[in-house]
Amino acid sequence: MSIFDDFLSLLYPRICYACGKSLYKYEECLCTYCRYHLPLTNFHLKEENPVSRLFWGRVQLNAAAAYYFYNKGTKVQHLIHQLKYKGHKDIGVYIGKLYGKELKKTALFSTVDFVIPVPLHRKREQKRGYNQSLVFAQGIAESLNAKCDNKTLVRIYSSETQTKKSRFARWENVKEIFSITDKTTFADKHVLIVDDVITTGATIEACAQTLKDIEGITISVAALACTMH
């Protein structure tokens, strides 16, 4: 760091997005303690896990996993809040890279060709300024040496907020809001759909249902966090 950078850090201190403590020069987005103590699921190491079981009988997936466990009032919730509502896109890229490195080590995820973020509707993305799932997808794609595609799967209708809806209501809310611009793009490819948080899985299921009839496609799922243990 230059003297100017040191001066800037006094005015705008770099903090851990999970716990709020100041970062050391060699730390990025997360302090060392949070990086190694946030609750990892390790679901990517198990073909059968709570996230993959969530989709059983609903849509056929190759694999499904999430990086962190999500609970209200925790550091993970604070981390995702910073990503989703405070404009800190660097969190998504950073954690995406970390998770992508772990996914690449496993047979279930190492063959991914495309990483696809769950699309936001154009109006919501304009209001927020970006799609938080896209920056997460970009980080994962970089570590997996895969392509990040946010043009082929699109959201054609806006949906109401999912926060207080039941599982069935969430499914009804999203079941017909996605479309494909070019079915040949993902033919005979392994695609990884990514989202920030998996709760009921309704949105990702709707994405997978839209993609499933593409010839030769293999579909996997990964999220930054999930609510199930």
Backbone dihedral region for residue 216 (phi beyond 0: left; psi -120 to 50: alpha; all else: beta) = left
104 or 171: whose pLDDT is higher?
104
Give the pTM: 0.88
State yes or no: pLDDT of 45 exceeds 60. Answer: yes
Band (pLDDT 50/70/90 cuts) for residue 184 is very high
State phi, psi for 197 to the nearest 5 degrees. Answer: -130, 130
Burial 207-227 (b: 16+ CB within 10 A, else e): bbbbbeebeebbbbbbbbbbb
- For 55-83, the pLDDT digits (tens) are 999 999 999 999 999 999 999 999 999 99
* Average pLDDT score over the chain: 90
Residue 42 token pair: 């390790």
| CA geometry: angle 116, 199, 179, nearest 5 deg | 35
Q: List, in order of start, the domains of the chain with CATH numbers.
A: 40-226 (3.40.50.2020)
Angle (CA) 221 227 229, round 5°: 95
Model confidence at 220, pLDDT cuts 50, 70, 90, reads very high
List of residues 6+ apart from 132 with CB closer than 8 A:
83, 84, 89, 92, 196
Given this model, what pLDDT does residue 174 score? 60
DSSP 89-108: HHHHHHHHHHHHHHHHTSTT
CB 66 within 8 A of CB 41: yes
pLDDT attached to residue 166: 55
In this structure, of 2-16, 40-54, 131-145, 175-189, the range with the lowest mean pLDDT score is: 2-16
d(CA 17, CA 118): 23
Tell me the per-residue pLDDT of 126-162, one tens digit each, with 9 for 90 and over: 888 999 999 999 999 999 999 999 999 999 876 655 4
- Count the neighbouring beta carbons within 10 Å of the beta carbon of residue 127: 9
